[in-house]
Chain A
C-alpha cells in the first residue's frame, strides 16, 4: 500500500507542475495550447544538459528557462500582437516538438537505446517521503498557488485579468504585463514538469516520453475547475487511472489496456456534460485590448 502511495506521489509530480502552470496562464485569460510541446522540449533540454554537463540541476533550470522562452513567444503573438490563441499555441507545440527531435538527432544521432544520464536522486527519507525534490516542490507550489491567488494583490490582479480585464485596465493596472507574467511563470513550470520525466523518473529521454500527457494536463485544468487543490486531486485521479491500466490483468478488469489512456479525457468531458459547476475564467480566449 505504501509502495503504491510512494509511486503515485512520484507520478503525480509532472502533472501537478504543468497543470499549475497552465492553470495560472488560463486564470489570466489565455489558453496555452503549447503545453505539450513545452513539456517535450523541457524534457529534452533537461536530458541534453545533463548529458553534456552531468548536472541535472542545471538541466532543470535550463528546462524551466526554455519553457519560459516558449511562453514568451506565445505572449508576443497573443498578448502583444493579439493573434489567435489557438493557432499560436498549436504552432508553439509543433515547433517545440520538432525542434527537440531535430536537435536530438543532431546532437546524438541514433543511439541504440536511450543514453544514460545523471539524474536526480531522491531524498533519503523513509517510505512515502522517499521522493524527489521536485515532488516536494510540486506539493509546496499547490499550497503556495492557492494562497497567492486567494490572499495577495498579485493573485487578485491575475484573477481579474482573466475575468474582467477592462475593469483592471481602468483601475490602472497593465493587463498585458500581468498576462506576460502569468505566461512566463506557467511556461517555467511546464518546462520543469517535462524535465521531471527525463531527469527524475523514469530518468531518460525518448522522443515519445511525454506521450500526450501535456494534453492530459490541459484536461486537468478544466477538470480541476481552475483551482490549485483541484489540480492535485485531478492529477491523483489521473495517475490512479494509469496505475489501474498497468494492473488491468492482475485485477481482472474486463477492459483493454489501451482504453485507459482515454479515461482522463473522457472523465473531463463527462464532468463537463453532467456537472454544471465548471466555470472557466470569463475572459479566457478573449484578447485584450479587444480588436475589431
Chain B
C-alpha cells in the first residue's frame, strides 16, 4: 500500500510539474505579447471557475472530453492505441441525428436513450472496423485515417443530402424536440449529459479496479505474453476494449447532438478527439483524473477568448498551453506505451 501511495503521489507530482512548466512557458509567451503574464493566465485558466455560470460552461465543455477520455484510457491501458475518437464521435453524432430526426414522433423516454445507444453503437462499430484490420495495419494509423474519411463524409452529408434547406451553412435540420436531452437546471444549459459522464467515470474507476475484466485489460497492456499464458483471451479482450472505447466516443457525439446543438453541425467535433487524449494524459490515465484534466482543458478553451479580449494576448495561447501540457505529461510521466518487440502473437491478435 505504501508503494501504491508513493506511486500515485509521484505521478500526480509529475503531472503538476508538467502543468507548472506549461504555465511558465505560456506565461513567457504572454509576456512576449506585451501582456501581464499573470493577468493573461488568470483569464485563461482561473476566470472560468469564478462564477457559477462559468463553472457550468466548463462542465458542459468538459463532458465530451470526459467521455472520450475514458474510452482512450481503457484502450491505451490495454495498449490498443485508439486514436480515432474524433471519427467515432462523429459517427455517434451522425447516428443520433438520424434517429433524432427520423423517429421524432416517439416519446422522449424512448427516443433519447435510443439516440444515445445508437450513437454508442456507431462509435463502437467504427472502432471495430479498425480493430479487425489490426493484423494489416496498426490501429493507431487506421483510426487516424478513418477519422479523416468520416469527417469528410460528414461534410458531404451536411452540404448535400442532409443540409438544412432553410440555411446556406453546412448543417442539418433540427432533431425532434423529444430527442433533446433533458436539462438538469433551468436556464443553465446543463443537461443530464454531465451527470452521465461523471457517473460513467465512476463506473470505469470501479470496473478497472475491481472486476476481472478490468484487471485483465490492464494486465494485457502491461505484458501481453504473460497475460496470455495466464489464460487471458487476448483477441476477445482487445475486441471488447476497442468496442467500448469507440462506444464512449460515439456516446459523446450523440450527447453533443442531443444535448447541445440539437442538430448536426460542422463545428461539432472541434478537435475533441485529441483533447480527450490530452485530458486523459493529464489525468494519468485514471478515470477520476480524467475528470480533472477535462475540466482544466475546458477552462482553457473558455478562457482563451477572454484572455484575448482583456489582455490582447492571442487566443491561440490556450492551444499552445494545451499542447505544452500534453508534451509535458508525455515527457515526465513514465508510461509504458510502446509496442513490445518480437511479439508475433500481438500482430495476430
- Chain A residues engaging chain B, CB cutoff 8 angstroms: 31, 33, 73, 77, 81-88, 90-92, 94-95, 97-99, 101-102, 105-106, 166, 212, 215, 218-219, 222, 256, 258-259, 261-262, 265-266, 268-269, 272-273, 276, 278, 280, 283-287, 290-292
Contacts and interface: CB of A to CB of B under 8 A. Distances in A.
B38 interface: no
Contact of B326 (A85, A90, A212, A273): A90
Interface string B301-337: 0000000000000101101101110110011000111
B209 interface: no
Contacts of A105: 314, 316
B319 A94 contact: yes
Interface of B: 29, 32-33, 81, 83, 133, 136-138, 140-142, 144-146, 148-149, 151-153, 155-156, 159-160, 274, 277, 281, 314, 316-317, 319-320, 322-324, 326-327, 330-331, 335-341
Contacts of B338: 82, 84-85, 285-287, 290-291
A3 B159 CA distance: 31
B274 A102 contact: no
27 contacts: A83-B331, A87-B330, A92-B323, A98-B316, A101-B319, A102-B319, A212-B148, A215-B145, A218-B144, A219-B145, A222-B137, A256-B159, A258-B159, A259-B152, A259-B153, A262-B149, A269-B133, A269-B145, A272-B133, A272-B136, A273-B136, A280-B137, A285-B138, A285-B338, A286-B340, A287-B338, A291-B336
Nearest to A76: B331
A216 to B, nearest CB: 8
A98 B321 CA distance: 9
A83 B136 contact: no
Contacts of A86: 81, 83, 140, 337
B210 to A, nearest CB: 26
Contacts of A97: 319
Interface centre among A83, A91, A290 (most CB of B within 10 A): A91
Contacts of B155: 258, 261
At the interface, is chain A mostly helix, strand, loop or mixed? helix
Nearest to B32: A106
A101 B156 contact: no
B341 A290 contact: yes
A276 B152 CA distance: 26
B340 A102 contact: no
Contact of A87 (B146, B153, B317, B326): B326
| Pairs A-B, 9 closest by C-beta atoms | A98-B319, A95-B323, A105-B314, A262-B152, A84-B337, A102-B316, A94-B323, A101-B316, A91-B327
A158 to B, nearest CB: 18
B335 A84 contact: yes
Contacts of A280: 137-138
A83 to B, nearest CB: 5
A84 B330 contact: yes
B126 to A, nearest CB: 12
B327 A88 contact: yes
Contact of B327 (A95, A215, A290): A95
Given A90-B326, A91-B326, A99 B320 contact: yes
Contacts of B160: 256, 258
Given A94-B326, A268-B145, A269-B149, A87 B277 contact: yes
A271 to B, nearest CB: 10
Interface centre among A31, A82, A94, A292 (most CB of B within 10 A): A94
Nearest to A290: B341
Contacts of A273: 133, 136
